[in-house]
Chain A
């Protein structure tokens, strides 16, 4: 069992939690992820590591309540326990782990979208600690859904916020902002790192390919074990099949078959949707009705 040391609602439906997991904290690095199973009947869901404190033995996760499992997780409070918390999984971010000599003089831009903004923060922070300045573009729906702005102001050389509705910063998509930076504001980059929804990473990748700008993305496919034993998370990278949990989660964006990855991500949409309805029903109705709803799934 893993104790929730801190819980904070960053903005509506996006939560931050510090989880007590000393073994994970000791070996975690930026770019890696954990698998969380909330309770006995829960499913295993992957969440990116957003920070870690080796001395306190805690690992920070940030998640958005999208489906049933994240809702269950959000319902827990400080002092409550998560049944299973395993990691660190996947490979550490190559860019961030690279040597200072290699990184020196490189112009890097990070593109973050939605809840993907959170895992970008420790990467930028670590680079800052190594003396490497980077630009950060954050995309979000509106001012009220923006997270980590203050933190990024501390560690990013330039921070560009984009909102879909124009309520804050630049109105438009992260790709529009990146394009503007490169074409109108004279920015030249050697490397782009994009983390966010699959659709955002696809369009960032498409744009940077036209500039021949090397781009790394962190994929978030469906996972079960996260240790390479099932292949649920397989993706096609440069016509080779890779398992995102062990070969990734970071890959060269220009080699990824995004359409396939997005299609695979939606595989259980109906099953997940039904489970979510079932949980909401269970919250308002008596438990006895669960079985009936369970039948619906078949």
Chain B
């Protein structure tokens, strides 16, 4: 057995900073089969336990290795509705690959890239499996078409439900279309195609519907005969620091910057939406979203810098993303915290006053608390500032739906067993419940809620038990 994984071909940093095309080329067939043969086919596979949706990983890898691609795609499809997406954006090192036995002596099997290879193969070949139960004529509404909603909708459709997804934006996909950039997750080739496969299961999609404004949850259940509702509206509300100068021209949330670039395609001159072409961009924060914003700025021709108040060890973004960002020339100012944004006479950003930080004793959460170091104020020269401090759930749905309870942070409270909220028949999952987390965790919440909804319909005697 080879200890080291088959390397994945990537666009060279010098070349890729000039375009928005995908950085990773993924495996070709030969490479995929070679990597697949590194899998030990464990009797008691640890990797499956590391996958939030419990894909039968050894099985699909064996099928891929043996050349039965259709079977491999079907195996993935049993557990995941978005394998081409997950193979690309899951933090595998903390999930499936983190548990892989091969990783103890060598490098873990590259499960993510193998999953991606199988899903991409099926899309390229036009292979699809739209097997589903006959319709039970029960209507279920899914609010939000991000990873949680898409997964819940797909699973319910397979069980025979008549599912309608309501999406506030003009394109489905949630964070997959407005948040994660093209160079990590291609929109037309991957996201749109994968969603199309899901809709082909008979799921209806209504875009431009803001539940809470265009229609209420109550209306959906009373007037439109939906028997259950799943809320997968995410955590899209951006946070700001509240420092002086934050409303200057050139200061924006990462959500705004990325929405302009990704959803509105502002980086293309044939699209109408403008985007700020700063020359010196500072991104505040160090999560995956911060990396995405900084790498987008690089591609728009800026010098991009990350300002983060903790040290490298605490950076919340995936190691691979930080590595890619640094390769592309993103500068890291660690242990640094903004105090004020300096504004020129026309109201545009001209700089940012920062202070150096040091890490104190671990607090109750176990993290070392950053403390300001006196006399270390300094100015970072910049013309744009992107705030990437995290997001919280939008209060609109919870505040317009009687009976739904939320916690202090605005997250919807659910029964962990089945995903049901404090109001009967209304379920929720994903970032709307947890606050901003990962794509795969949202998918797993969507799966659980689909099971919860089905169980409730069985309990009510509306559908026979399968």
Name A's B-contacting residues (CB within 8 A). Answer: 23-24, 26-27, 37, 41-44, 68-69, 83-89, 224-225, 227-232, 234-236, 241, 246, 260, 263-264, 266-268, 271-272, 275, 278, 290-291, 293-295, 297-298
User: Is B277's beta carbon under 8 Å from chain A?
Assistant: yes
Name the 4 nearest CB pairs between A and B, nearest first: A294-B269, A271-B274, A230-B256, A229-B236
Choose among A42, A68, A86 the residue with the greatest number of B CB atoms under 10 Å from its CB: A86
Q: Which chain B residue lies CB-closest to A240? A: B242
Nearest A residue (CB) for B391: A229
Note all chain A residues with C-beta closer than 8 A to B170. 37, 44, 83-84, 86
Known: A44-B264, A228-B394, A230-B255. 5 other contacts (CB 8 A): A87-B213, A89-B213, A224-B264, A231-B255, A232-B252
- CB–CB A228/B269 < 8 A: no
Residue in chain B with minimal CB distance to A68: B272
- State how many angstroms separate the Cβ of B261 from the closest Cβ of chain A: 11
Query: Which chain A positions have C-beta within 8 A of B252?
Result: 230-232
B238 contact set on A, CB distance < 8 A: 229-231
- Indicate which residue in A23, A272, A298 contacts B214 across the interface (CB closer than 8 Å): A23
> For A298, what are the chain B residues with a Cβ–Cβ distance below 8 Å?
277, 301
Q: How far is the CA of A266 from the CA of B249 in the complex (A)?
A: 9
Name B200-229 residues within 8 Å CB distance of A. 207-210, 213-215
- Decide: A264 near B213, CB < 8 A? Known: A44-B264, A290-B269: no
Q: Are B259 and A225 in contact (CB under 8 A)?
A: yes
* Residue among A37, A225, A275 facing the most chain B CB atoms (10 A cut-off): A225
Query: Which residues on A sit within 8 Å (CB–CB) of B169?
Result: 225, 227
Q: Which residues of B contact A86 (CB under 8 A)?
A: 168, 170, 208-210, 214
**Chain A CB within 8 A of B347 CB:** yes
Complex-state Cα separation, A267 to B347, whole angstroms: 9
B136 CB within 8 Å of chain A: no
Assess whether B253 is in contact with A230, with CB atoms less than 8 Å apart. Answer: yes
Contacts of A264 in B (CB 8 A): 247, 249, 347
Q: Name the B residues within 8 Å of A88 (CB-CB).
A: 213-214
User: Which residues on A sit within 8 Å (CB–CB) of B210?
Assistant: 86-87, 89, 227
Write 29 A-B pairs (CB below 8 A) sorted by A numbering: A24-B214, A27-B215, A41-B270, A41-B272, A42-B272, A43-B272, A44-B273, A83-B170, A84-B208, A86-B209, A87-B214, A224-B259, A227-B210, A228-B237, A228-B394, A230-B238, A230-B252, A230-B255, A231-B238, A231-B253, A234-B247, A241-B242, A263-B249, A264-B247, A266-B249, A268-B274, A272-B274, A297-B269, A298-B277
Could you mark each residue 366-397 of chain B with 1 if its beta carbon is under 8 Å from any beta carbon of chain A, else 0? 00000000000000000000000001001010
Closest-by-CB residue of A relative to B254 is A230
Contacts of B255 in A (CB 8 A): 229-231
Residues of B contacting A297 with CB < 8 Å? 269, 277
Pick from A37, A241, A275, A290: contact of B274, CB under 8 Å: A275
Contacts of B236 in A (CB 8 A): 227-229
CB nearest neighbor in B for A90: B213
A29 to B168, CA, bound (A): 19
In-complex Cβ contact of A224 among B168, B209, B250, B256 (8 A):
B256
CB distance from A91 to the nearest CB of B (A): 10
- What separation, in Å, do the CA atoms of A227 and B211 have in the docked complex? 11
Q: Determine the chain B residues whose CB is within 8 A of the CB of A260 once the complex forms.
A: 247, 347
Min distance, Cβ A247 to any Cβ of chain B, angstroms:
11
**Distance between Cα atoms of A87 and B247 in the complex (Å):** 26
B121 at the interface (CB under 8 A from A): no
